[in-house]
């Protein structure tokens, strides 16, 4: 089992939990921006993501500068921070492509919209559990997150393959298809990095 982050100096667990809650809020705003095509939601999400970058940078500096923190704890924390930075990067990609979709008036089929909504909801649920697992490191919750991640990953892969088949059949337009696949790819990358975080916590 990884070091108990909630007992470390500098409130590391609390900082990571605040970060996790922030990116969950950002994802909800991106989803709203996607569903309602509202620029203000995407702008607000981008602001949260920028603040989250600053929070992670500050936390990493604090951990590196504190000589009272054990080397093992530093390694776990830095790995979690680096993976969360990749989560941020991919959320920014989703926001960018959603903004592009709205600005250019790119239309998705009803099926594509339904698929993305299902993936958004699934990821939002995982992020909610990440809030708890960072604080508690509960092994039962860790196993649950990993199971749900595998299900969501398979769902995203199946949706991508089905979408490519629709493109080949001419059901989807090339421009909308590229945007759809960019978003799904970013969602899959987020799942990968969430698993990497959980893997650190279960060592």
The answer to whether the CB of 173 falls within 8 A of the CB of 63 is: no
Phi, psi (deg, nearest 5) at residue 37: 55, 45
Are 81 and 55 contacting, i.e. CB atoms less than 8 angstroms apart?
A: no
Q: CA dist 15 to 21, 31, 187, Å?
A: 10, 24, 24
Structure tokens at 131: 């809030």
Least confident of 15-19, 112-116, 122-126: 15-19
Q: What's 88's domain CATH number?
A: 1.20.58.220
Residue 188 lies in domain: 5-201
Number of structural domains, the chain? 1
pTM for the full predicted model: 0.89
Q: pLDDT for 35-58, tens place per residue?
A: 888 889 999 999 999 999 999 998
Identify which of 194, 182, 203 has the alpha carbon closest to the alpha carbon of residue 82: 194
């Amino acid at each position: 089992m990884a070091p108990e982050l909630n007992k470390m100096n500098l409130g590391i667990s609390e900082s990571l939990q605040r970060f996790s809650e922030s990116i969950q809020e950002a994802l909800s705003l991106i989803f709203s921006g996607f569903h309602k095509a509202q620029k203000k939601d995407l702008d607000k999400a981008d602001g949260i993501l920028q603040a989250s970058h600053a929070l992670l940078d500050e936390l990493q500096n604090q951990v590196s500068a504190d000589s009272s923190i054990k080397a093992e704890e530093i390694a776990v924390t830095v790995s979690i921070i680096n993976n969360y930075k990749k989560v941020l990067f991919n959320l920014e990609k989703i926001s960018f492509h959603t903004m592009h979709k709205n600005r250019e008036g790119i239309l998705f089929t009803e099926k594509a919209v339904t698929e993305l909504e299902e993936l958004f909801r699934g990821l939002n649920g995982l992020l909610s559990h990440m809030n708890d697992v960072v604080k508690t490191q509960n092994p039962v919750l860790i196993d649950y997150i990993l199971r749900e991640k595998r299900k969501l990953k398979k769902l995203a892969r199946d949706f991508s393959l089905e979408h490519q088949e629709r493109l080949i059949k001419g059901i989807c337009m090339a421009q909308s298809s590229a945007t759809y696949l960019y978003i799904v790819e970013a969602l899959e990358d987020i799942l990968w990095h969430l698993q990497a975080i959980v893997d650190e916590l279960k060592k």
